[in-house]
Structure 1
Amino acid sequence: MWSYLPILIAIIGGVAVVIQARFNGMMDRGMGTVESVFITYGLGGLIIALVMVALRGGNLTAFRTVPWYVALAGVCGLLIIGAISYSVPRLGLAAAFTIMVTTQFVLGAVFDHFGWLGGELRPLNPQKAAGILILILGVWLIVRE
């Protein structure tokens, strides 16, 4: 049976990203990029720690079962929040997200094509290449002044 729950959760996540970006941009203007990232991660870390305590500690011992370098996802998260905090007040939400999401699609297609970082090999085909070119054209249309 097909469920609408994953779609609803994705929509909620999309809404949260836009709201977070606006708030991070406001903090960036008021106190700086590094400080806004600290506040975001500090509060987020505190909340997830409380959730883990409520769930009796979670399962952090399972971390031993994954490669050590996957912890670098936290560094990527810092870069994402920093990039959002810095770019949104300077470019606007639409332009900043257009650039970031298009970059994700392009790099995602490259990673899929080569199967990088343990992903399944999904070769780039003419249809995907055309889609990427359309995305890049979209960036140009949205960002140009």
Structure 2
Amino acid sequence: MGSIGVLGLAIIGGIAIVVQGQLMAVMTQALGPLESVFITYWGGAMAVGLMMAGARGGNLSAFTTVPWYTLGSGLAGLIIIGTIGYVVPRLGVAGGFTVIVATQFVAGVMIDHYGWLGAVVRPFDLPKLIGLGLMMIGVTLLVR
């Protein structure tokens, strides 16, 4: 996939995240946070199961070869989905995702800088500091 395709896919993913956030907010208010997370994961598991059934050449049996800590991604996903369902009704879609995404950038810079969780080391530098500072100004303007 070329650069344009990757950017297009990122845009689709970005739209899907905020749409899911609003859907989770509605579900969480009607059902409760744990119930909405369960339904979201159940629906996702069913969709992926169908995709895997239609695909050939998968390698699910190799899950024992990945580092043990990568299996925590499911727990991280539960935290993400639960947080979105709780935060969006209280801060709005834009406000909630502004804080979530800004936090992702800060955490991402730290993971890159220290090479945590198997990441390639990408040192923290002045342009990244300026970018994070400008982003925090934007967060303040969007969430106030």
Task: Tell me which interval the TM-score lies in, with the shorter structure as reference length.
Answer: over 0.9
Identity of aligned pairs, percent? 49
Distance of 1:2 and 1:27 partners within structure 2: 37
For residue 4 of structure 1, give the secondary structure of its aligned residue in structure 2: helix
Distance of 2:139 and 2:29 partners within structure 1: 25
For residue 22 of structure 1, give the secondary structure of its aligned residue in structure 2: helix
Note the 1:1-145 alignment, pairs <5 A: 2-56=2-56, 58-144=58-144
Distance of 1:24 and 1:44 partners within structure 2: 13
Choose 54-63 or 6-15, whichever is displaced more.
54-63
**What is the letter of the counterpart of residue 78 of structure 2?**
L
Cα RMSD of the aligned pairs, angstroms, is 1.6
Cα distance, 1:29 vs structure 2 = 0.9
Distance of 2:57 and 2:126 partners within structure 1: 48
Q: Deviations over 1:58-102 (max 9, x none)?
A: 321121221122011011111100010000011101110110000
Distance of 1:124 and 1:56 partners within structure 2: 41
Q: Deviations over 1:21-62 (max 9, x none)?
A: 110000011111111101100111111112212225832112
**TM, length-normalised to structure 2:** 0.93
Cα distance, 1:111 vs structure 2 = 1.3
Distance of 1:29 and 1:90 partners within structure 2: 11
Choose 113-122 or 51-60, whichever is displaced more.
51-60
Stretches of 4+ aligned residues off by more than 4 angstroms: none
For residue 124 of structure 1, give the secondary structure of its aligned residue in structure 2: coil
Aligned length: 144
Residue ranges of structure 1 left out of the alignment (5+ in a row): none
**What is the letter of the counterpart of residue 82 of structure 2?**
G
Choose 8-17 or 76-85, whichever is displaced more.
8-17
**TM, length-normalised to structure 1:** 0.92
For residue 92 of structure 1, give the secondary structure of its aligned residue in structure 2: helix
Distance of 1:4 and 1:107 partners within structure 2: 27
